[in-house]
Amino acid sequence: MVLFENNFVSLQSKSIKEMTDKINKRNIVIIAALVVMIAAVIIVLSTRKTSTLRQDINISDVETITRISLSDKDGNRLMLTKIADSLWTINDKDTASYYMIKTLLTTLSDMRVREPIPKPAHKNILAAMSGQRTEVQVYQQRHTINLWFIHLFKKEKLTKTIYVGAETQDNMGTYMLVKGTNEPVVAYIPHFRGYLVTRFLPYLDLWKSHNIFKYNPKDIASIRVDLPKQSKESFELYRQDNTFKLKLLSNGEILNDFDTMKVTALISSFMDLNYETVAKDISQLERDTIFAKEPNFIITVKDIKGKSRSLKTYVKLYNPNSWVSQNDKTDFYEIMDIDRMYAIADGIKDTLVLQFFVMDNILNPASYYFDLKER
């Protein structure tokens, strides 16, 4: 009986061992098959000549971009350098427009390949791009050692060069070419109607920040509005404790019954006030008749640290593009531009062009905030 039990146990152990060996062999076969499949997928993806580069037109991690170079065949060249998340410079000198930088980064991130270009058309497209294109070089922070969770020795590296050509005939796409390939593509941004050429133009005036005043209201110590031609309408709005006081500059009188809503609009206007463009080709007539005279307004803002900045505004002669109905047209409208004005601002060497509707809240006399006639 004991011998039988021993034999039974021996047979049972042998059976279990055989089953275990079979399971292990099956697992090994399955694992080996999976490894072969994964290796095959990797090899296919790494050797494909179609989609890999074409889908790599965009940059997914734009937050790591440190510099962007833009240059064209006419010798225009810009280097946009990141100083902080919301601060970029142009050629290490001028402050770049954050709106333009944000648009460029969004474009680099969101653009996709709409369609490849048929091979018979490659030659013509490449020939056109060789004569008219913008070269876009993107530099990013990269780690020399980048293994799993180990990231060491960060440094700046040129990661991608894109040649941006003209727009397509339907104006819904843009010809582009990634350096390292001879396969141009049509790039676009999904759900955006239009082409992308203008987002890469290397023109200095286009990329310059148009900001004149940018203040947090709590940092404003005073706002002074001088009207050289109407001195009785000049005033100063200044902070005292937790409120603002309004003072007439002509006699120093402090006024408390001003319109608080209008004053609030005045203060808020300096949070982000921008000019439209830089004045080009100012006529000699304008120089002799406008800038030789006193400005219409002198706006001076001082912050709580004592630093101030001023803006002087001048009239601008008639702009043929200004629209005035025939019923409203008078000699004044024939002479003066009713849409725009000239300005000179501290820290900006160029003469600026401002739009009236942008400046409406700050170009008002003292009587706008209260009724001087009742005083």
| Cα 177 to Cα 162: distance, rounded to the nearest angstrom | 6
pLDDT reported for residue 286 = 82
Q: In this predicted model, which residue has the larger pLDDT, 149 or 361?
A: 361
pLDDT, mean of residues 112-135: 90
pLDDT reported for residue 174 = 96
pLDDT reported for residue 375 = 53
| Cα 74 to Cα 266: distance, rounded to the nearest angstrom | 44
Cβ neighbors of 59 (< 8 A, separation 6 or more) are: 65, 108, 109, 138, 140, 159, 160
CB 275 within 8 A of CB 212: yes
| Cα 17 to Cα 86: distance, rounded to the nearest angstrom | 67
pLDDT at 9 over 50: no
**Whether the model pTM is above 0.75:** no
| Cα 150 to Cα 174: distance, rounded to the nearest angstrom | 39
pLDDT, mean of residues 110-128: 91
Question: How high is the mean pLDDT of the chain?
Answer: 84
pLDDT reported for residue 273 = 94
* Cα-Cα end-to-end distance for the chain: 127
Q: Which residues pair with 354 in a beta bridge?
A: 341
Q: Residues 30-49: pLDDT tens digits?
A: 776 676 676 555 554 444 44
CA triple 181-186-187, angle to 5 deg = 95
| Cα 373 to Cα 375: distance, rounded to the nearest angstrom | 5
Please name which of 239, 190, 183, 204 lies closest in space to residue 96, comparing C-alpha atoms: 204
pLDDT reported for residue 256 = 81
Cβ neighbors of 317 (< 8 A, separation 6 or more) are: 283, 285, 286, 290, 335, 336, 337
